[in-house]
């Protein structure tokens, strides 16, 4: 079992002293939950392409790193992910260490529990500077910090799409009710996606003199459509608006470079497609360049020490948000372990595989159901993701049919969820769809099986 090489010698010694706990503890926990962890084969590093006979073997190796129950094909990454064994081990090791020596982290990981190294590692992987990134609890946590940290006054307008998640809508609704901020929904294309200008024009058409910010999901949770984030942030810059991206579904699924995207803020999850532990997330806050918006650090332990209301750029903005009471250091380290695994496999390679599977699923659904089903997710390069929304029924507004289908698929060994949404902004009724997540531990046979299962249930 490999020790993380970022943990320092002291920790390695501590861990080996209590190796008994690690090995027997994991096995016992595995046995208790029926995981059979000791039988999960895994190597510390992914094999290189040349050491596996073909691509299928390579992705089989990737699949083998996960402890997912083989009796159910888990296809709800959009809600939460599954930690690979290596990540579970890291989490377990540090939880045991923490329980045995509650204050050891400081001496073992260095000042402030090695948080600066953790932030630097994430910054390097996600295309930004260390003073622009912090570890959060989840996407909602990050969005809340951003929305409530910015200055909005009565009559200021924020543009959002008509497919936003409650994680963003909730703090925005507080702004609306508390300060009289105006939220304006922009209709984005759903069944007729063809190019990025559709999205850019939809936002541009709604910008008024009162507009102060735009907020949109990089990948919508409703249909899995990937929005042209870079082009939308460019528009925001051109118009002098703040750009806030809800990136819940992006890390772990697609490659990310925050500087290249050009957004002001990007809040994301570490527990979904990145497959870190629950309650882990990543927040990017631009901290250099033109016109930094005034930002007030909420939910911080440092405000009175380091950061009064300030023009950003002079401070490590993310640092002041990073320190907010006791943190779950084992969870942070475990998420970073998952990031390390993703880096070793290659984030670009993962994106290609995941979006490729997403495209394959869409093609299979079209082939099997033809025009009787409704595919809400685009199958177009640049817009396709690992999230697919599909309704096989003629009546797409019938909630009972979809919930029954979700339950029946579960009985057949496939775990998916449903989403509901307005196809067009002014629709009086919601459409319903199965939402299927395909990730790096899935393969085409599982997708074929799911499509057949939907057909059988139908
Ligand atoms: C688009 C979107 N934003 C935010 C969230 C909230 O995510 P988290 O649980 O990381 O706070 C979700 C959760 O599914 C989501 O889909």
Asked if the model's pLDDT at residue 264 lies above 70, the reply is yes
Residue 313 tokens read as 């750029």
Residue 53 tokens read as 């006979």
Interatomic CA distance for residues 1 and 248, integer angstroms: 31
pLDDT tens figures, 337-368:
999 999 999 999 999 999 999 999 999 999 99
pLDDT tens figures, 211-223:
999 999 999 999 9
pLDDT tens figures, 219-256:
999 999 999 999 999 999 999 999 999 999 999 999 99
Mutate to test the pocket of ligand 1, among 81, 165, 251, 276 (most ligand atoms within 8 A of CB): 165
Q: In the Cβ-directed half-sphere of 114, how many Cα atoms lie within 13 Å? A: 19
Residue 138: what pLDDT? 98
Q: Find the mean pLDDT for residues 284-291.
A: 90
Show me where the domains of the chain are located.
Answer: 112-341, 348-457
Number of Cβ within 10 Å of residue 370's Cβ equals 8
Q: Does the CB atom of residue 269 touch ligand 1 within 6 A?
A: yes
Q: How far is CA 458 from the centre of its chain?
A: 31
Q: Find the mean pLDDT for residues 294-311.
A: 68
Interatomic CA distance for residues 366 and 290, integer angstroms: 46
Asked if the model's pLDDT at residue 48 lies above 70, the reply is no
Query: Which sign, positive or negative, has the C-alpha torsion 149, 155, 160, 164?
Result: positive
Asked if the model's pLDDT at residue 62 lies above 50, the reply is yes
Task: Report whether 317 contacts 131 (CB < 8 A).
Answer: yes
Asked if the model's pLDDT at residue 171 lies above 70, the reply is yes
Q: Find the mean pLDDT for residues 131-144.
A: 97
Mutate to test the pocket of ligand 1, among 248, 265, 267, 386 (most ligand atoms within 8 A of CB): 248
What number does the ligand 1 atom closest to the CA of 217 have?
A: 1
pLDDT tens figures, 5-17:
333 333 333 333 3
For 194, list phi and psi in degrees, rounded to 5.
-130, -40
Asked if the model's pLDDT at residue 45 lies above 80, the reply is no
Q: Ligand 1 mean position to 249 CA, how many Å?
A: 7
For 287, list phi and psi in degrees, rounded to 5.
-135, 30
Both ends of the chain: CA-CA distance in Å? 46
3-state helix/strand/coil string of 162-231 = CCCCHHHHHHHHHHHHHHCCEEEEECCCCCCCCCHHHHHHHHHHHCCCCEEEEEEECECCCCCCECCHHH
What number does the ligand 1 atom closest to the CA of 271 have?
A: 10
Interatomic CA distance for residues 361 and 363, integer angstroms: 5
Q: Ligand 1 mean position to 267 CA, how many Å?
A: 9
Q: Find the mean pLDDT for residues 38-62.
A: 66
Vertex 83 angle, CA 391 and 216, to 5°: 50
Interatomic CA distance for residues 411 and 330, integer angstroms: 35
Q: What is the mean pLDDT of the chain?
A: 88
Going by pLDDT thresholds of 50, 70 and 90, the confidence category of residue 53 is low
Residue 8: what pLDDT? 31
Residue 443: what pLDDT? 96
Asked if the model's pLDDT at residue 325 lies above 60, the reply is yes
Residue 316: what pLDDT? 78
Asked if the model's pLDDT at residue 33 lies above 70, the reply is no
Q: Find the mean pLDDT for residues 425-444.
A: 98
Q: Does the CB atom of residue 118 touch ligand 1 within 6 A?
A: no
Asked if the model's pLDDT at residue 382 lies above 90, the reply is yes
Q: Domain 348-457 is in which class?
A: alpha beta
Q: Does the CB atom of residue 206 touch ligand 1 within 6 A?
A: no
Residue 314: what pLDDT? 61
> Bigger pLDDT: 339 or 112?
339
pLDDT tens figures, 75-107:
999 999 999 999 999 999 999 998 988 877 777
Architecture of domain 112-341: 3-Layer(aba) Sandwich (3.40)
Asked if the model's pLDDT at residue 198 lies above 50, the reply is yes
Residue 129: what pLDDT? 96
Residue 105: what pLDDT? 79
Residue 112: what pLDDT? 80
Q: Ligand 1 mean position to 274 CA, how many Å?
A: 13
Residue 106: what pLDDT? 76
Q: Does the CB atom of residue 419 touch ligand 1 within 6 A?
A: no
């Amino acid at each position: 079992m490999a020790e993380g090489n970022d943990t320092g010698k002291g920790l390695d010694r501590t861990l080996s002293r209590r190796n008994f706990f690690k090995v027997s503890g994991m096995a016992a926990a595995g046995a208790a939950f029926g995981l059979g962890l000791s039988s999960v084969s895994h190597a510390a590093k992914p094999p290189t392409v040349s050491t596996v006979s073909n691509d299928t073997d390579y992705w089989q190796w990737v699949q083998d790193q996960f402890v997912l129950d083989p009796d159910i094909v888990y296809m709800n990454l959009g809600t939460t992910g599954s930690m690979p064994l290596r990540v579970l081990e890291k989490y377990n090791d540090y939880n045991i260490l923490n329980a045995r020596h509650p204050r050891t982290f400081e001496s073992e990981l260095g000042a402030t529990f090695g948080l600066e190294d953790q932030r630097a590692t994430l910054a390097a992987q996600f295309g930004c500077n260390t003073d622009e990134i912090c570890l959060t609890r989840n996407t909602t946590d990050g969005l809340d910090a951003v929305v409530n940290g910015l200055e909005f006054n009565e009559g200021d307008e924020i543009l959002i799409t008509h497919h936003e998640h409650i994680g963003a809508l909730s703090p925005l609704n507080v702004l609306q009710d508390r300060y009289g901020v105006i939220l304006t929904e922009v209709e984005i294309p759903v069944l007729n996606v063809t190019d990025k200008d559709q999205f850019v024009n939809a936002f541009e058409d709604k910008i008024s003199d009162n507009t102060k910010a735009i907020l949109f999901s990089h990948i919508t949770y409703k249909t899995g459509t990937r929005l042209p984030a870079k082009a939308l942030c460019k528009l925001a810059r051109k118009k002098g608006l703040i750009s806030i991206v809800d990136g819940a579904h992006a890390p772990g699924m697609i490659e990310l470079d925050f500087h290249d995207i050009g957004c002001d803020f990007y809040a994301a999850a570490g527990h979904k497609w990145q497959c870190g532990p629950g309650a882990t997330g990543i927040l990017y806050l631009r901290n250099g360049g033109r016109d930094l918006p005034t930002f007030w650090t909420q939910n911080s332990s440092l405000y009175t020490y380091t950061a009064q209301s300030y023009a950003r750029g002079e401070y490590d903005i993310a640092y002041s948000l990073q320190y907010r009471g006791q943190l779950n250091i084992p969870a942070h380290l475990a998420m970073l372990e998952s990031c390390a695994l993703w880096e070793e496999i290659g984030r670009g390679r993962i994106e290609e595989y995941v979006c490729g599977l997403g495209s394959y699923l869409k093609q299979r659904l079209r082939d099997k159901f033809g025009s009787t089903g409704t595919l809400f997710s685009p199958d177009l390069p640049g817009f396709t993701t690992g999230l697919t929304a599909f309704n096989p029924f003629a009546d797409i507004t019938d909630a009972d049919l979809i919930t029954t289908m979700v339950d029946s698929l579960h009985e057949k060994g496939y775990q998916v969820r449903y989403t509901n949404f307005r196809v067009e902004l002014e629709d009086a009724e919601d459409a319903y769809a199965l939402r299927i997540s395909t990730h790096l531990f899935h393969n085409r046979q599982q997708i074929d099986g799911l499509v057949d299962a939907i057909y059988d249930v139908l």
